[in-house]
Amino acid sequence: MKILVTGGTGFTGKALVKRLLDDGHQVVAMDYKEGLKTEELRQWGAEVIIGSVTEPDVLRRAMQGAEVVHHLAAAFRELHVPNSYYYHVNVEGTRKALEEALRQGVRKFIYCSTCGVHGNVDNPPAGEDAPINAADYYQQTKYLAEPIVKEYQGKGLKTCILRPAAIYGPGDPERFFMIYKRVASGTFPMFGSGKTLYHPLYIDSLVDAFLLAQEEGKGEGEAYLIADEKFVSIEELVRKVAQSMGVRVNIPHYPVWPLIIAGHVFEKVCKPLRVAPPIFPRRVDWYRQNRAFKIQKAKRDLGYNPQVDLDEGLRRTAAWYRAEGYLK
């Protein structure tokens, strides 16, 4: 099949492109910046199209002959942009991609949303019908695109929405690496009780879910939470990261409220100065927001069955960080 992956050079996009190529598909990866990763993707055999998902001409070229579209491109944590930029990329970009997919007769459109649309989970674990309670602008715009996806399902385009939990694994130089880096220092300051729930998702399991969702007759017009089999507390996660690295870690506890205030103050002060804040509200949410989900619906309808447990996933991730020189 010819398959388009938007955001194809991102952490998840790259892993999906690789698997699709390994499975023998013809893959077009679309992203809006040329760079080392785009070269790597070309070497693997993907066609790379540079441009934004907000540009109809680029979408037209990228979707030509595509049977399936995996829409992963998203504004995530952008510096120096107004909030409207998130709306422009995550909502309007998704609408434009759907419109082009409908026009070109794409067989199936998979929209990558986020578990973050549920915000703090009051009654963990949450299912897909749990309240929508997006906590920040990124999450809100990811959710605002969901009803648009359903609108196009109504117009005759087959769609499926995935809401991934916290993605980690080899290939991620940013998100989980911050946890590994702090653990490697020997001390991980824990703000709050450490009992906040966290639901990881190993990258290969998410790629499995995309492959299942693209199948004919599966999950059409539906949304699915995708996560590992088990969730953990954030303190347990930190201990397991240390275990995966074969090191000991001290976890001193501090109250969380000064960090909440600092997050807001730093964001307010740094934004006009156009510098990256050292702490910002979303990072503080990591210590506060319960994230634990049910994956029964994806298991039942898609046949989703995560194969890599947290200990094994963290071991593989630690090995990748070492091999790539991120960790000693």
- Residue numbers at the binding site for ligand NAP (CB under 6 A): 6-7, 9-13, 31-33, 52-54, 72-76, 89, 93, 112, 114, 142, 164, 166-167, 175
Instruction: Find out whether 175 and 198 touch, Cβ atoms under 8 Å.
Output: no
Rank residues 42 and 253 by Cβ distance to ligand NAP and give the closer one. 42
CB of 319 to ligand NAP, least distance (A): 20
Residue nearest ligand NAP, CB atom distance = 10
Rank residues 138 and 266 by Cβ distance to ligand NAP and give the closer one. 138
Instruction: Find out whether 73 and 7 touch, Cβ atoms under 8 Å.
Output: yes
Instruction: Find out whether 318 and 180 touch, Cβ atoms under 8 Å.
Output: yes
Give the distance between the most distant pair of CA atoms in the chain: 56
Write the DSSP symbol of residue 132.
Answer: P
Rank residues 166 and 318 by Cβ distance to ligand NAP and give the closer one. 166
Rank residues 24 and 284 by Cβ distance to ligand NAP and give the closer one. 284
Say how far apart CA 182 and CA 57 lie, in whole Å: 44
Rounded alpha-carbon distances, angstroms, from residue 85 to 56, 89, 90, 147, 272: 17, 6, 8, 19, 16
At 250 the three-state DSSP class reads strand
CB of 138 to ligand NAP, least distance (A): 7
Rank residues 13 and 170 by Cβ distance to ligand NAP and give the closer one. 13
CB of 229 to ligand NAP, least distance (A): 17
Contacts of 294 (CB under 8 A, 6+ apart): 125, 126, 127, 225
CB of 77 to ligand NAP, least distance (A): 8
CB of 85 to ligand NAP, least distance (A): 9
